[in-house]
Structure 1
């Protein structure tokens, strides 16, 4: 299991202007990661990814590029450039995270959330759908276990929520890029401003925690997950 981390409220900062690069090391993914096949992957263990920043510890990220490989733990630290999202992609990813990220816990939820991110990041048809045969990216369900239907339904709901979200931005989203390995997305909880009360932290789900992501000066959200032994 990922070790639970106390909410690092004292380390929360206003979203800075990100610049430069960061050294991080891949640690693994949930041992129960759901094996999925899409238009660009085959039997791929799909889940949130655990990375280690040598300054501050572990943090959770999701992949942006299913066609790229992950820098395995044995390859050591890798340098990622710090970037941001723009345009409609930024809007949709913010809608996805603000509407659904706090409720993502189980292996199926992680897989569905990752599918939704890939759809937003890679779809070229202009229509967001992971139903088999739709657009340039989708989940292949033909001949696969019926349990994948639940993952597909979850991902579809996440995408709908992302497109219809109209509330406040709850996260600062950072893009970590590398020319050889999968680009990543990392979420940082933003302060919540309540009229007549002031600024406070978003209240996390029971198994959702925040920690300081060194080098970036942001909070990385880390849920309790199991790593392969």
Structure 2
């Protein structure tokens, strides 16, 4: 997945993005391990993070917030020309903003596997689409839920795993009282899925720490870069 590319998402939401009202982005792919799920709004949909690239700054990871629409294909009909689409840059508000921020701050850093990505996507949809006032993705719960009835064998196991993870994520979001660890941006398009993109909020180091850091750079000469973990 493009999890390490939240740095590119930060660039997407930097001056170049906010100086204008729109960005040009292209869907790339989804991870091969993301499971196909059926919900109250989707049918046999490969569910998880979405890998995009921004024409200006590079690749980033997004999650869908509008499951009733599709994403644009990676290439135009000729199969060769990259299919960039224009999205409006915006933000979230109210309880959705609060819960999305809490979800990302409490769980996003630990989301790696296909089932975890699927559960995180379900949690995002639950926050964005639920109208009953109760956050639950259990079968028949409210206006948005994971359809599990009739599932057998491997699919039943996947459903149970994803549902348990999503339940945990939603509980963590509702109980989170810590600081906002991510900056969230809403990307909107009238014809395609709207998206949420996150970039990490970097803490400002103490003056003494910063001085040591600069001194350390002088010693090692930036001989190596640390790779972000997947």
Scaled by the length of structure 1, the TM-score of the pair is 0.80
Determine which structure has greater relative contact order: mean sequence separation of CA pairs < 8 Å that are 6+ residues apart, divided by chain length: 1
Q: CA deviation at 1:2?
A: 5.7
Between the aligned partners of 1:149 and 1:179, the Cα distance in structure 2 is: 34
- Residue 182 (structure 1) shift: 0.2
Matched residue, 1:117: 124
Q: Is residue 137 of structure 1 aligned with residue 160 of structure 2?
A: no
Q: What is the match of residue 113 of structure 2? A: 106
2: CA distance between counterparts of 1:6 and 1:132? Answer: 33
Q: List alignment gaps of at least 5 residues for structure 1.
A: 208-229
- Higher share in strand: 1
**Secondary structure, counterpart of 1:62 in structure 2:** strand
* Cα distance in 2, alignment partners of residues 67 and 25 from structure 1: 19
Secondary structure (helix, strand or coil) at the match of 1:74 reads coil
1: CA distance between counterparts of 2:28 and 2:12? 26
**Larger C-alpha radius of gyration, 1 or 2?**
2
Return structure 1 stretches of 4+ with deviation > 2 angstroms.
1-8, 11-19, 193-200, 203-206
Counterpart selection for 1:156 from 167, 170, 190? 167
Partner of 1:181: 192
Matched residue, 1:51: 52
Query: CA RMSD, aligned part only?
Result: 2.8
Q: Using structure 2 for the length normalisation, give the TM-score.
A: 0.80
Structure 2, unaligned runs of 5 or more = 77-82, 214-225
Q: Distance in 1 between matches of 2:45 and 2:5?
A: 28
Q: Of Structure 1 and Structure 2, which has the larger fraction of its residues in helix?
A: 2
Are residues 55 and 35 of structure 1, via their aligned partners in 2, closer, same or farther at CA, if it must alter by over 3 Å? same
Q: How many Å apart are 1:4 and its aligned residue?
A: 6.2
